[in-house]
Amino acid sequence: MRTWMLRLAAIVAVFPTLATPMTAQPKDLQAKVKEVFLQKLAQQEVAATKGADDFRKGFSTDTELRQDIKNKQIADYREMVWTAWREANHDFKEDKLIAPHALKAKEHGAWHLPAALEPNATMPFYFGSKKDAQSPAPLFVYLHGSGPKAQEWEVTWQWAQMFDDAPSLYFVPQIPNEGGYYRWWQLSKQYAWEKLFRQALAYGVADANRLYVLGVSEGGYGSQRLASFYADYWAAAGPMAGGEPLKNAPADNCANIGFSFLTGADDMGFYRNVLTSYTQAMFDSLQLAHPLSADKQPLFRHRINLVPGKQHHIDYRPTTPWLKQFSRNPYPKTVLWEDFDMDGRHRSGFYNLQVLARPSDNRTNYEMNINGNHVDLRISDVKYTTVQKDPQWGIEMKFHRDYSEATGGKVRLYLCEQLVDLSKPVEITINGKKVFSGKVKASLQSMVSSCAEYFDPCRVYPAYIDLAY
């Protein structure tokens, strides 16, 4: 651990010196930003340790640091903010990632998960590189299936070494507890995934635009849910031998990422083959409805196959080579997001959208399209009606969705130079009504708030607009 901390300190120390515009700012500004970040990290930890309700509620990422920024200063300020964020994560007292030595060396670390979210929960993990992957490297999160957890973890580590995707990094976790906590999508595991995103990106070991999630069986269910819930972080996702009801993993959210799904055609356990076919039909339908994004990019890039003649055991090797061809676009000009809860918790943000007030207790569907400097948002309430239920276990298998115009909510729209021309007026419509027209000012507040919200080097946004509807 000490070796890794020294290495991290060295990484921070050699971060590029800021350019001239920043030298005119108070020398202690970066220190002030770092202190804000340390406070936000502490608030996040307190919310997780107090209890499930507090973790679900989250905390405010807003800051009282207020300073307008000229457009020509954006790059320098963004670099300063990200440096302060990295230093804050380095100094924050918590379980850390281990150094990514060779995966075959079988070195592992462990994170203690908050007892308020899951009692007696420690998540061991292998974290290592293949073919001496150089940082920042593609990172695969590989989830094991159900069964004795020690055995499943060992088998998953073995498979990870066999996959043809090097040079790469692998994070291979072991489920903390069996029984009722044997699910990769529960609150305690959400805490772990967000810690992984935050540390891997802050430490600079993972390529922010080349993060992947995959898993087999129970890991297939988990990776399908995580693909939809955290789609704005992934380049691609690859569940295998699974099959979630689409209510648990809305396919719409997987616009802009690669999605591979392989299940045996004869894998009838818990209707895995049937549910995989429903997922295939939904992705095909979405692709027909949304062939291209606002900037003329393919929205749904998927490979969903029922493997002929196979039951629960299939060949897992084709997945990661297919996933690795994808890189994340962190600035899509079309975003589809069904804001759903996972274990009772909603994401507070997705791509460049942040929810300040949900319009109702129903799910909310967001569709954003940016054409030039015009941002069009369509925001709807979503109600599900179950149209097919399994008679044996009561599994809700198929659904109908009804949409109605949402009112009474509030959303924050983050903007950057990759999405709009910040030197020109921006026009925003929500459900066909103009809600904003004018220039958007860059500010330190926006950069600090978005960094604390997403902890993503690509999403330190210089500007935002809060919009009620």
Residue 8's pLDDT is 43
Residue 371's pLDDT is 98
Residue given tokens 């509620």 in the structure block: 57
In the chain, count H helices and then E strands: 11, 22
Question: Which residues lie closer than 8 Å to 361 by C-beta, 6 or more apart?
Answer: none
How many CB atoms are closer than 10 A to CB 167?
12
Q: Point out which residues pair with 124 in neighbouring strands.
A: 110
Task: Report the candidate in 444, 454, 420 with the shortest Cα–Cα distance to residue 33.
Answer: 444
Confirm if 127 and 171 have CB atoms less than 8 A apart. Answer: yes
Helices 74-91 and 444-454 meet at what angle, rounded to 10? 40
Each residue's pLDDT tens digit in the chain (469 positions)?
434 444 444 444 333 333 334 444 556 999 999 999 999 999 999 999 999 999 999 999 999 999 999 999 999 999 999 999 999 999 999 999 999 999 999 999 999 999 999 999 999 999 999 999 999 999 999 999 999 999 999 999 999 999 999 999 999 999 999 999 999 999 999 999 999 999 999 999 999 999 999 999 999 999 999 999 999 999 999 999 999 999 999 999 999 999 999 999 999 999 999 999 999 999 999 999 999 999 999 999 999 999 999 999 999 999 999 999 999 999 999 999 999 999 999 999 999 999 999 999 999 999 999 999 999 999 999 999 999 999 988 999 999 999 999 999 999 999 999 999 999 999 999 999 999 999 999 999 999 999 999 999 999 999 999 999 9
Residue 5's pLDDT is 42
Would you list the domain boundaries of the chain? Answer: 2-91, 103-323
pTM above 0.85, yes or no: yes
Task: Please state which of the four CATH numbers 2.60.120.10, 3.40.50.1820, 3.100.10.10, 3.30.70.240 is assigned to the domain occupying 103-323.
Answer: 3.40.50.1820
Helices 74-91 and 2-13 meet at what angle, rounded to 10? 160
**What is the rounded distance in angstroms from the CA atom of residue 250 to the CA atom of residue 254?**
8
